A and B are shown apart, each in its own frame.
Chain A
Amino acid sequence: MIAELGLAILWMAAALAALQLIAGSLALRPEGRALIGLVRPVAVMQGVLVLVAFAALITLFVTTDLSVKLVADNSHSAKPLIFKIAGTWGNHEGSMLMWVTIMAVAGAVVAVIERRLDEATLIATLAGQAFISLGFYAFLLFASNPFARLAQVPEEGQGLNPLLQDVGLAFHPPTLYIGYVGLSIAFSFAVGALVTRNVGPAFARAMRPWVLGAWIFLTVGITAGSYWAYYTLGWGGWWFWDPVENASLMPWLAATALLHSVSVLSSRDALRTWTVMLGVLAFSMSMVGTFLVRSGILTSVHAFAVDPQRGAFILALLAIDIGGALALFTLRAGTVTEGKRFAFISREAALVFNNVMLCGILGIVLIGTLYPLVTEAYGVKVSVGAPYFNPAAAIFAFPMFAVMTVGPLLRWRKDRLTGERSARTTWPLLVCAGVGLAVFAGVELAARDITILPALGLAIAAALLPASLLPLVGRNLRRTPLPVWGMVLAHAGIAVSLFGMASESAFSVERLAALSVGEARDVGPWTVRLQGIMPVAGPNWTALEATAAASYAGAAPIMLHPKAETFTNPPGTRTESALSTRWNGQLYVVLGEHGADGRWQMRFWWKPFVPLIWIGGAMVALGGLLALAGRVFADLRRFIAKAKIAVRRVDQGR
């Protein structure tokens, strides 16, 4: 019953999306004015309905209704509740329903709260949003129905891939999807502004919170995903240039560029076409990411769906949405003027330069990810990995970091680095550059076997960190606006993260050992002693758990418990590494197999400063949050002030 209800409600939501598109398009013409009041309520209702459909699917998973094919294929009655819920989106159909849900709810929120934008642009935006949604509704209803029943009800479900039964992963897909969908809103705003020829600061201000929000979620999603890979895959790696990781990195890069460009547009009325282009690009990358992950075109841990028909469907959606947006852009490009001009040395120029560099990195990641698919079409299988991505991306990343040190200190429109401004910008920057050079020289002298990229990374991080704090110098800290704090924190986060990455790749120590109980092994400054092995059991797994005493430089030992887990439904194994975190790094301990000679395979890594990678990522996300909070508070204040003025006017009887 719940399944049928869910499906019916999903059809109704799709019908409302169609109504939203038609009413919205008609309302933009003079003869369709009467329909203008219809669009907002329809958008809200669509959001509510699809939310109910999604709740229906979650209910089916929670109650393990095995007559539903999706539940039988992906769930199991003995699974802990949280993974039953997370199982809802741990598969193709459920994740697409979640995508549509987030999209419709976001559309509803826009319909409810957005009041600053002129009505026509907003209606066009909601119509654009409905257009994109319709494509995904069609995909769900015709090619991936999540509510399909089975003719024969199985005894028990297939269960969920053990790798996915992890709290971190339970919330990884929703986070990324919110990011992707936030970019779809930004895209719809861009389309709406193009339709009504209204690309300007008002449009940028309406779009900015959505871009910021999407970007925060993408940042959190990527950071958390990287940490998840680090602690579950059991070999200490944290980024693999896996196509699915790239699928989340590409929208992030585009969103980062868009975020900065939107700021320029809203405060300086410059970069109009550029912002619209980036809006289209950012959502295109979300679609490309979805296509790569959901079409099963990749052989990767994440590609659960192996069905070319679905791939073709998403590819068609991608072509229609992006092709349509680009066609509209070409038609209207003549009416969108470039906006205000700026000099070569100005904050706008620095932002444009870094936007172009971000797009360069994006280009490298895109080509490196897609190229193996191209050659495979010609019958040649090649792999593109870190040895290509790292140096090719560095060509663009390092100049970008260099400009990042300068940019926030420059003035809008026009600045100079000599004369009275040199005390404020040039000299402090030279000091930062000196710090970077000193670190580079120190690293090269102290450890000659370090390759060039990590050495450069350490040096640039050392220069970027102090430089990113410079915008606060000379300001009254209590009166510094939140968005400035946000920028400083996010830029410092990039430096911190870069330092962690460079340090991990330069200084990690690896030790593989076969140990009998009681034996010890050194790894870097640590000594790790295997003290015992115990069998333990969970709700749907059994495991061997080692007790290892780790002592740092002779200090009192810390007990660590790495596990090797075995799952039965579906059968699989998972290593649960044990981590010991210090201020200067992390010890990573893994229990491997039991050797024929009775000894235990163990793996140890000492990774200096590795947590900084994710701490930096968290700082970046927090910076985004501060900026968003600052913008929202400012809007609220303006709203309240306006309301007060209105009230006063009424009181005075005007």
Chain B
Amino acid sequence: MIRLLAAALLGMLALVSPVLAQESVAPAPYAYRQLADPEQEARAKALMITLRCVMCQSQSIADSDAPIAGDMRSEVRQRIARGEDPEHIRQWLIARYGDFVSYTPQVKPITWPLFAAPVVILLLAALLLRGRFARTPPAGEGDRA
């Protein structure tokens, strides 16, 4: 909880003081600049919208003003420009920031229930519907199409 609070505070601090942001070292050249090749930019964008800004609240790095989101955007664009595979970049970021950074849940034992959910719900829905329709149709109803 405390860590979360600290993160939130840091995030707020970064948001409210552009001065601080400008003083931060290592400028991120591609934070607010697109790649020249539209195809590469499209690939970078598709990846960025599935990466979470770890300092923000429920925002992807593709729609955040936080400095760390800018740094991450720049990192992603540069790696895409070097021809790196998007999934590879995602794994690299997960290794650095944890599973939290990826809006696409990774298939692991702890997330199996998440992926089982649609199947289970489908089965439940089928059962529910079957129960409703499998009963005797209204009187005088022989020709169910």
Contact = CB atoms under 8 A, between A and B. Distances in A.
B93 to A, nearest CB: 12
Interface stretch (A214-222, A231-239, A472-480, A606-614): A231-239
B83 interface: no
A342 B138 contact: yes
A240 B58 contact: yes
B102 A383 contact: yes
A29 interface: no
Contacts of B22: 593, 596
Interface string B41-83: 0100100011010000111101111000000000000000000
A449 B111 contact: no
A416 B118 contact: no
B58 A364 contact: no
A223 B122 CA distance: 28
Nearest to A380: B110
Nearest to A594: B18
B36 interface: no
A344 interface: yes
A234 B144 contact: no
A372 to B, nearest CB: 9
A118 B18 CA distance: 65
A332 to B, nearest CB: 20
Contacts of A353: 129
Contacts of A243: 58
A572 interface: yes
B134 to A, nearest CB: 10
Contact of A417 (B8, B16, B136, B145): B145
Interface string B132-144: 1101111001011
B69 to A, nearest CB: 10
Contact of A387 (B18, B33, B50): B50
Contact of A414 (B49, B103, B122, B138): B138
A392 B52 contact: no
Chain A interface residue count: which class? 35 or more
B145 A300 contact: no
Contact of A385 (B45, B65, B104, B110): B104
Given A341-B135, A345-B144, A349-B133, A384 B58 contact: no
A349 B18 CA distance: 58
B105 A383 contact: yes
A630 to B, nearest CB: 29
B98 A388 contact: no
Given A299-B4, A385-B60, A572-B15, A367 B32 contact: no
Contacts of A340: 138
A404 interface: no
Contacts, number: 148
Contacts of A306: 5
A360 B121 contact: yes
B25 interface: no
B103 A387 contact: yes
A341 B134 CA distance: 11
B110 A382 contact: yes
B100 interface: yes
B128 interface: yes
Contacts of B129: 352-353, 356
A641 interface: no
B117 interface: yes
B144 to A, nearest CB: 5
A113 interface: no
B100 A382 contact: yes
Given A299-B8, A345-B145, A573 B138 contact: no
Interface string B91-126: 000000011111111100011011001100110010
B40 interface: no
Given A384-B103, A388-B114, A414-B138, A512 B143 contact: no
Given A235-B64, A356-B128, A573-B18, A364 B4 contact: no
A360 B49 CA distance: 25
A390 to B, nearest CB: 11
Contacts of A396: 121, 125
Contacts of B58: 240-244, 299-301
Interface in B1-39: 4-5, 8, 12, 15-16, 18, 21-22, 32-34
Contacts of B111: 371, 375, 382
A524 to B, nearest CB: 12
A73 interface: no
Nearest to A413: B138
Interface in A475-518: 510-512, 514
A590 to B, nearest CB: 10
A394 to B, nearest CB: 10
Nearest to A378: B110
A236 B59 CA distance: 12
Contact of B114 (A384, A592, A596): A384
Nearest to A385: B103
Contacts of B106: 382
A367 B110 contact: no
Contacts of B113: 367, 371
Contacts of B34: 510-512
Nearest to A505: B49
Nearest to B136: A341
Contacts of B128: 356
Interface in A332-347: 340-345
Nearest to B127: A356
A571 B13 CA distance: 10
A155 B5 CA distance: 27
B57 A381 contact: no
Given A341-B137, A381-B99, A385-B104, A235 B16 contact: no
A380 B99 contact: yes
A377 B132 CA distance: 38
Question: 8 closest pairs, A vs B, by CB?
Answer: A385-B103, A235-B63, A242-B58, A387-B104, A381-B100, A363-B121, A367-B117, A382-B99
Interface of A: 233-237, 240-244, 299-301, 306, 340-345, 349, 352-353, 356-357, 359-360, 363-364, 367-368, 371, 375, 378, 380-388, 392, 395-396, 413-414, 416-418, 449, 510-512, 514, 571-573, 575, 592-593, 596, 601, 603
Interface of B: 4-5, 8, 12, 15-16, 18, 21-22, 32-34, 42, 45, 49-50, 52, 57-60, 62-65, 98-106, 110-111, 113-114, 117-118, 121-122, 125, 128-129, 132-133, 135-138, 141, 143-145
18 contacts: A233-B59, A235-B62, A300-B58, A306-B5, A340-B138, A344-B133, A356-B125, A356-B129, A364-B121, A367-B114, A371-B113, A382-B100, A382-B106, A383-B52, A396-B121, A514-B32, A572-B15, A596-B22
Given A233-B63, A383-B102, A413-B138, 13 more contacts: A235-B62, A240-B59, A344-B145, A345-B145, A359-B125, A380-B99, A384-B103, A384-B105, A386-B103, A395-B122, A418-B145, A512-B34, A573-B16
